[in-house]
Structures are given as C-alpha cells and as structure tokens.
Amino acid sequence: MTSTKQLNKITLKGSAAIVSEFFFYGINNILYQRGVYPPEMFKQEKKYGLTILVTTDEGLLTYLKDNILPQLTAIVCNLTEWLEKGAVRRLVVVIRESETNETLERWQFEIQSDEEQKNSNNPPKPKDVNTINSEIRAVIRQITATVTFLPLLETPCSFDLLFYTDKNLEAPSQWEDSSACLITNSEEVKLRSFSTSVHRVDGAVSYKFSM
C-alpha cells in the first residue's frame, strides 16, 4: 500500500506538465467557445473524459506549442523559487476587438505554489491523477458553459497571453511589456479551481457588460 501511494504522488515536474497541459486545452477551449477563430479551424480531441475542440491552424499551434507552452512549463517548474521572490503569479488570456484593440474579455488564472497554499486557508492535500483530472474536467466544462451568459462577440477579435512576472526575471526575447488590459466597469465570474497538491490554479473571467 505504501509503495502504491509513492507511485501516485505528484512530483513538481509532473505537476508542471499537468498545469501546462491544462492551459493548452483551456486556451483552445476559450478560443473556440468565444468564436475568436472559426469552428472549421478546430478538431475534436478526447481529454479529461471530455470532447475538446483543438485548433488545426498550424500558425496558432506553433504559437501555442513552440512559444507559449515551453515557456509556461519553465515557469511552472521554477514556480516554487520564483513565487518566493514574487516573480510569477498568473496567466491571463485577453480577447480584444481587432479593429479598436479594446479589451472585451479577460480570463485570469492565478497560480499558487504548495508553500503559498500551506499559508492559506486551503492547505494542499495529496491527490491522485484521476482526482486532478476530475477537477480540471469541471473547469473545462465551466469554460464551455460561459457562452450562456457572456455577451456575444459580434466583431472580429484577436487574443493575447499575459504572464505576470517579476521585472527582474530574465524573460524570453520575444516577450514584450504590456499593460494589464483591464476592463472598465467590468463584470466578473469566478471559475472553479483545481489543484495538483503541488500547484493550485484559480480562474475568473471578466468581461465588458453592455446594457
């Protein structure tokens, strides 16, 4: 019994891979559900016990897999040390109106290390992969359900990814400084959270409210 528990224990490296993979599928789901790219640019994949739409556009896939995910994996792998220094805390998906560059939606995901969780009201508990996948499945389902209340995006849109990092962090050369892309007088909805017992991810979406 003891050896089984050891085999199921989530390591820092394993947690980084889980969080990184969630962001890949989560970002794809947001882009599909919000119509940032046309539906024909996505294909169905089975993940977390769900059918998730993943882009088939080579340019977007290259951007996510070659530029974003390796950077994200590096961030999460070093998260414990960097969080102690306040170096990185969140990832934000910003959806803008293409013509005006106005921010219409802001999907924010806070990342906590196990040390931060121990000092909060939600101390981490050991989890197996099935439990983690169940929590991630609930988050993905909630992202899918947001189409029932988020305003329809009626104009062509683009997206940006923001990483909140310490100014002294040596960032990749292709990164650029950005504003927070906040939305004035926005509405906000909290998303479900998931945790690997090494990292915890809390999400929320804020959006421009139109009367």
- Is the distance from CB of 56 to CB of 36 less than 8 angstroms? no
Q: How confident is the model at residue 89 (pLDDT cuts 50, 70, 90)?
A: confident
Number of neighbours of residue 188 by Cβ within 10 angstroms:
12
Closest by CA position to 66, among listed 174, 166, 199: 174
Question: For residues 52 and 144, what is the distance between their CA atoms, to the nearest angstrom?
Answer: 10
The DSSP symbol for 146 reads G
Per mean pLDDT, which range of 54-63, 77-86, 117-126 is the poorest? 77-86
Q: Output the six-digit token pair for 201.
A: 């991810």
Question: For residues 88 and 16, what is the distance between their CA atoms, to the nearest angstrom?
Answer: 14
Q: Output the six-digit token pair for 166.
A: 């310490």
Question: For residues 11 and 161, what is the distance between their CA atoms, to the nearest angstrom?
Answer: 27
- Report the domain count for the chain: 1
pLDDT digits (tens, 9 = 90+) for 132-182: 999 999 999 999 999 899 999 989 999 888 888 767 766 666 667 788 899
Residue type at position 86:
G
- Structure-model confidence comparison of residues 78 and 43, the more confident one: 43
Q: Hunting for tokens 């919000």 — which residue is that? A: 34
Domain encompassing residue 160 = 2-207
Coil, helix or strand for 20?
A: helix
> Whole-prediction pTM value?
0.80
Instruction: Give the β-pairing of 88-97 and 157-165.
Output: antiparallel
- The pLDDT mean for the chain works out to 80
CATH code at position 67 = 3.30.900.10
Closest by CA position to 78, among listed 174, 165, 12, 10: 12
Which residues, 6+ apart, have CB-to-CB distance to 113 below 8 Å?
A: 79, 80, 83, 198, 199
- What angle do the packed helices 129-145 and 12-33 form, to 10 degrees? 20
Residue 71 pLDDT > 70: no
